[in-house]
Amino acid sequence: MKVNEIQIKGEKARSAATILATATTSIKNKALHRMASALRQHKNEIIAANALDLEAGKRDGLKESLFDRLLLTEDRIEAIAAAVEQIITLQDPVGVILNGQTRPNGLQISKVQVPLGVIGIIYEARPNVTVDAAALCLKAGNAALLRGGKSAFHSNMKLVEVLAKAVEESGLPVHSIQLVENTDRALAEEMMKANGLIDVLIPRGGAALIQSVVKNATVPVIETGVGNCHVYIDETADGNMAQDIAVNAKTQRPGVCNAIESLLVHEARAESLLPEILESMVKKGVEIRGCEKTCALFPKAKMAQESDWGEEFLSLILAVKIVPSLEAAIDHIRTYSSKHTEAIVTQNVTSAEKFLAEIDAAAVYVNASTRFTDGFEFGFGAEIGISTQKLHARGPMGLQALTSSKYIVRGNGQIRS
Amino acid sequence: MKVNEIQIKGEKARSAATILATATTSIKNKALHRMASALRQHKNEIIAANALDLEAGKRDGLKESLFDRLLLTEDRIEAIAAAVEQIITLQDPVGVILNGQTRPNGLQISKVQVPLGVIGIIYEARPNVTVDAAALCLKAGNAALLRGGKSAFHSNMKLVEVLAKAVEESGLPVHSIQLVENTDRALAEEMMKANGLIDVLIPRGGAALIQSVVKNATVPVIETGVGNCHVYIDETADGNMAQDIAVNAKTQRPGVCNAIESLLVHEARAESLLPEILESMVKKGVEIRGCEKTCALFPKAKMAQESDWGEEFLSLILAVKIVPSLEAAIDHIRTYSSKHTEAIVTQNVTSAEKFLAEIDAAAVYVNASTRFTDGFEFGFGAEIGISTQKLHARGPMGLQALTSSKYIVRGNGQIRS
């Protein structure tokens, strides 16, 4: 008989979730304290487990860029432990009364924030996601079923062993945090169909992983992270501000979802602004792929292909287009945007308000860098991801995104006539 | 070349949604007024179209119970028009500022309620859903792509023709409300995979329809409506109240999702309460399927099968179980509940609070009938369905469930360091 790991762990997670749902903030915080301490206490074992993954990676020809993501050092473990302690300071989202009323018939109805239940996280190389996701789920009263990448298998096994033991010692269920040990693709697919066992799936990783979960899951999914973001420099933009924002949005950290992939410039400002902005981009190592007019103004630019406008480069490549109007910029963004973050640089209040109202994205900016779309920058104190869908949560997700609600109704014998 | 109706109408809906998203409340209300008037004005044409569906139903051997759902009369059209007018009186959910803050760096961040965009509704026989869903979507600034059942085809075609024309006359896009004319199953399946064209799918209908959408859709879905609800009579319940609530919850309207399917009774009260309660149920035509102890106490009961505990009968059948404790009742509900609505009848405050805290359902009641879980009874003024999932919306959904949010960020040149 085939042992079904998802079924078995899913049921254990459901039982744990039932207990976690009514756990007090004090006990959850105690568990988080113990988790942080345990990470520090077992750092040598964790580093040893990580070394096995690094070795296996070398043997299997893992891509160079993935080694850094995979690596755990003493400093990194300390940073991971400190991040767990940071979650202790955040307000517990469970039990918050969102609203309430007394109906004409005397029924008292309150809408109360409650945990989601069992959260499945499907992710890739970074073992810090194991700790981060487990800690955030626990603070919001959820059981976590984690399915990490094969390349981090030994690290994840050790981390979950250490965390689950710490949770158990604090008086909460040991199955509050579980790892799917079989890293076959088939088990990820079983998670995606585990309706009744898993309440919500959150994929964290690259576009291919996220699309696979969105396409295959029958369990509700929170889609995260793909960002084809734009900065548009309007006719009335302050030139220095435009340059600072464009360069920051592209180059401050090009590999993340809130960095821009395209720059749009109003034609009235192209000649005066664009060469200087693009020159400073090039100095920072950016490859420019421009429209015809851009290439005429700035000979270092390569000619952009149609596919460049829709691409999330996640690297030092920038597509640049000169547009005849604000309306044309809005049309371009509507066509190619992944609805993550979009910004306008302008001094004209009508243009600003039009852009804010008409652009459909998780976050829309006037006169600031797109790089601020982030749970920490938004003051949530933590981030489980950035939702690019419209259901449930949109934009940076803090602890609240890991909750649902239920209606509590108190009567004294009311029946319906 | 195959004409792809979903692709074409989906794109038209997207364009309409862009305009609807920034439409003022006044113009949306004007459109709703015109929609109501147009329904009244064209009632004879609507009734004539409906007659074609009824004829076709007879010819095709449509089930008797579906004829009443399908039928449109002058009175029913008036009621449908009045329901549209009722939506005018509701607060526009679009533009509500949910929260906001100024960050230490001066960025002003507001979270603003915005429309979802394009909403796909997949539903069955009742043509009133066509009007109801279209009007609610429009008030919340969304374009509606409606896919009704084949049996209501002529009625739906005429209704959407009348509604779309009224919307156009009010100055909003004619494609704000569209019907999928090809009622092949294949087109419903295309809707379920129309990511990028449709933002959210809401199935309305029986369990089979809803499960098919949940299983096949890659577009985010709001799952609605399946209710395996329970009333539990605790040791300390007021006997009269218990009887009134149980009978009301089962018999006041047995075919709906918030009616109960099972009654649980604490063993200490079974002898004194159960025979009388079940006798009054039988008088109302209820068939009792009891556990062994119930059958011993009440000989008219049939022996329940295991499958009876998990079944949504939607008819005058009641499963009855005598349980040894509150904990046993909670365990039973956890095992079989569809997490819609659950109620306890008790005079003991500790039992009441334990039940409210530990039962995981969209609505949990103390001392009232489960029949109140409803958008109108909750004071929302309208209902697009009752969500039984935990993402986005849970329980009765009013206009707010048809919205998302976006972050508006205003800066004066902030960049990230």
Q: Three-state DSSP class for B258?
A: coil
The neighbour count for residue A261, using CB atoms within 10 Å, is 27
User: Exposed/middle/buried for A60, CB within 10 Å: 0-12, 13-18, 19+?
Assistant: exposed
Cα separation, B344 vs B237, in Å, equals 9
Distance from CA of A407 to the nearest CA of B (A): 4
Which of B337, B406, B410 should we substitute to test contact with A (largest number of A Cβ atoms within 10 Å)? B406
B36 touches chain A (CB under 8 A): no
Q: Three-state DSSP class for A265?
A: strand
pLDDT tens sequence across A149-185: 999 999 999 999 999 999 999 999 999 999 999 988 8
Nearest beta carbon to residue B220 from set A117, A363, A389: A389
Residues of chain A found within 8 Å of residue B109, distances taken between Cβ atoms: 378
pLDDT (mean) for B249-255:
95
Q: Where in chain A is the domain with CATH 3.40.605.10?
A: 5-223+393-410
A363 touches chain B (CB under 8 A): yes
| pLDDT of the residue at B62 | 86
Could B369 and A107 be called an inter-chain contact, meaning their C-beta atoms sit closer than 8 Å? no
Could B407 and A362 be called an inter-chain contact, meaning their C-beta atoms sit closer than 8 Å? yes
Q: B391 phi and psi, to 5 degrees?
A: -85, 145
Tell me if B63 sits within 8 A of B69, measured CB to CB.
no
pLDDT > 70 in chain A, percent: 99
pLDDT tens sequence across B282-324: 999 999 999 999 999 999 999 999 999 999 998 999 999 999 9
What pTM was estimated for this model as a whole?
A: 0.92
Tell me if A21 sits within 8 A of A125, measured CB to CB.
no
Please name the residue of chain A whose CA is at the shortest distance from the CA of residue B211.
A218
Please name the residue of chain A whose CA is at the shortest distance from the CA of residue B339.
A406
pLDDT > 90 in chain B, percent: 88
B335 touches chain A (CB under 8 A): no
Amino acid at site B361: A
Which of B189, B219, B360 should we substitute to test contact with A (largest number of A Cβ atoms within 10 Å)? B360
Amino acid at site B348: N
| pLDDT of the residue at A213 | 93
Could A245 and B413 be called an inter-chain contact, meaning their C-beta atoms sit closer than 8 Å? yes
Could B361 and A392 be called an inter-chain contact, meaning their C-beta atoms sit closer than 8 Å? no
Residue B157 has pLDDT above 60, yes or no: yes
Which range has the worst mean pLDDT, A83-87, A124-128, A239-243, A318-322?
A: A124-128
B117 touches chain A (CB under 8 A): yes
pLDDT tens sequence across A329-350: 999 999 999 999 999 999 999 9
Please name the residue of chain A whose CA is at the shortest distance from the CA of residue B415.
A369
Residues of chain B found within 8 Å of residue A413, distances taken between Cβ atoms: 238, 241, 244-245, 367-368
Nearest beta carbon to residue A412 from set B21, B103, B367: B367
Runs of H (alpha helix) within A42-142: 43-59, 64-70, 74-88, 128-139
Could A407 and B103 be called an inter-chain contact, meaning their C-beta atoms sit closer than 8 Å? no
Please name the residue of chain B whose CA is at the shortest distance from the CA of residue A371.
B416
The question of ipTM being above 0.95 is answered as no
pLDDT > 70 in chain B, percent: 99
| pLDDT of the residue at A397 | 95
pLDDT tens sequence across B21-59: 999 999 999 999 999 999 999 999 999 999 999 999 999
Tell me the two tokens of residue A381. Answer: 């104190």
Residues of chain A found within 8 Å of residue B252, distances taken between Cβ atoms: 415-417
Could B411 and A367 be called an inter-chain contact, meaning their C-beta atoms sit closer than 8 Å? yes
Cα separation, B377 vs A107, in Å, equals 10
Q: pLDDT grade, residue A1 (50/70/90)? A: very low
pLDDT tens sequence across B134-151: 999 999 999 999 999 999
Cα separation, B118 vs B133, in Å, equals 12
B369 touches chain A (CB under 8 A): yes
Residue A52 has pLDDT above 80, yes or no: yes
Rounded to 10 degrees, the C-alpha dihedral B17/B19/B23/B28 comes to -60
pLDDT (mean) for B98-124:
96
Stretch 170-209 of chain A: residues touching chain B, C-beta under 8 Å: 195, 199-200
Beta bridge mates, B342:
B230, B364
Residues of chain B found within 8 Å of residue A406, distances taken between Cβ atoms: 360-364, 394-395
| pLDDT of the residue at B382 | 83
DSSP B260-314: EEEEEEEHHHHHHHHHHHHHHHHHTTPEEEE-HHHHHH-TTPEEPPGGGGG----
Could A409 and B220 be called an inter-chain contact, meaning their C-beta atoms sit closer than 8 Å? no
Could B416 and A248 be called an inter-chain contact, meaning their C-beta atoms sit closer than 8 Å? yes
Nearest beta carbon to residue A394 from set B101, B405, B413: B405
Q: How many CA atoms lie within 13 A of B342 on its CB side?
A: 27
Tell me the two tokens of residue A259. Answer: 């960095």
pLDDT tens sequence across A309-333: 999 998 999 999 999 999 999 999 9
| pLDDT of the residue at A125 | 76
A114 touches chain B (CB under 8 A): yes
Residue A48 has pLDDT above 50, yes or no: yes
How far is C-alpha A77 from the chain's CA centre?
21
A405 touches chain B (CB under 8 A): yes
Q: Where in chain B is the domain with CATH 3.40.309.10?
A: 229-372
Tell me the two tokens of residue A79. Answer: 């940073």
Please name the residue of chain A whose CA is at the shortest distance from the CA of residue B336.
A196
Mean pLDDT of chain A: 95
DSSP B321-357: EEESSHHHHHHHHHHH--SSEEEEE-S-HHHHHHHHH
Picking from A376, A378, A397, A377, the residue whose alpha carbon sits closest to that of residue A386 is A397
Which of A118, A229, A364, A414 should we substitute to test contact with B (largest number of B Cβ atoms within 10 Å)? A414
| pLDDT of the residue at B1 | 41
CATH architecture of B229-372: 3-Layer(aba) Sandwich (3.40)
| pLDDT of the residue at A407 | 98
Could B394 and A406 be called an inter-chain contact, meaning their C-beta atoms sit closer than 8 Å? yes
Q: Give exposure, A86-110, as e/b (b: 16+ Cβ within 10 Å).
A: ebbebebbbeeeeeeeeeeeebebb
Residues of chain A found within 8 Å of residue B231, distances taken between Cβ atoms: none
| pLDDT of the residue at A322 | 98
B215 touches chain A (CB under 8 A): yes
Nearest beta carbon to residue B406 from set A214, A352, A363: A363
A-B contacts (CB, under 8 Å): 202
Nearest beta carbon to residue A372 from set B363, B371, B416: B416
A356 touches chain B (CB under 8 A): yes
- Tokens 């079904």: give the residue: A4
Q: B209 phi and psi, to 5 degrees?
A: -60, -50
Tell me the two tokens of residue A269. Answer: 């400002």
A265: left (phi over 0), alpha (psi -120 to 50) or beta: beta
| pLDDT of the residue at A381 | 86
| pLDDT of the residue at B2 | 52
CATH class held by domain A5-223+393-410: alpha beta
Distance from CA of A183 to the nearest CA of B (A): 24
Could B361 and A406 be called an inter-chain contact, meaning their C-beta atoms sit closer than 8 Å? yes
Dihedral of alpha carbons A311, A256, A66, A209, sign:
negative
pLDDT (mean) for B105-127:
95
Cα separation, B192 vs B80, in Å, equals 28
Q: Report DSSP state, residue A200.
A: E
Residue B125 has pLDDT above 80, yes or no: no
Picking from B323, B338, B336, B310, the residue whose alpha carbon sits closest to that of residue B394 is B338
pLDDT tens sequence across B346-378: 999 999 999 999 999 999 999 999 999 999 999
